[in-house]
Amino acid sequence: MFNEREFEAQLVRKGIKKYELADRLGMSYTNLYRKIKTGRFTREEIGKIIDIAGIDDPVPIFFADKLT
């Protein structure tokens, strides 16, 4: 299950705006917003996000057992 709260916290920690992330992923902001709300990212997108945002441990964000 995707943890939107932790995802957004990671972006804030790294100083990355969502529109910048969308641009670096090669998608529109609207498409990124939809993916964040549904938690449906491809493996390729997850890999790119991990690299762009410097995520050390993607499990609590992309594979959380339950939301806190």
pTM for the whole structure: 0.87
Alpha-carbon gap, residue 28 to 14, rounded angstroms = 20
pLDDT digits (tens, 9 = 90+) for 7-52: 999 999 999 999 999 999 999 999 999 999 999 999 999 999 999 9
Residue 65: its pLDDT value, please?
74
Residue 51: its pLDDT value, please?
97
Amino acid identity, position 49: I
Whether residue 27 is contained in a domain is answered as yes
Burial letters 17-45, b for 16+ CB under 10 A, else e: eeeebbeebeeeeeebeebbeeeebeeeb
The answer to whether residues 35 and 41 touch, using CB atoms and an 8 Å cutoff, is yes
What residues make up the domain containing 37? Answer: 4-57
Whether residue 67 is contained in a domain is answered as no
Whether residue 36 is contained in a domain is answered as yes
DSSP state of 28: -
Answer yes or no: is pLDDT of 66 > 90. Answer: no
CATH number (domain holding residue 44): 1.10.260
Number of domains making up the chain: 1
Residue 44: its pLDDT value, please?
96
Whether residue 34 is contained in a domain is answered as yes
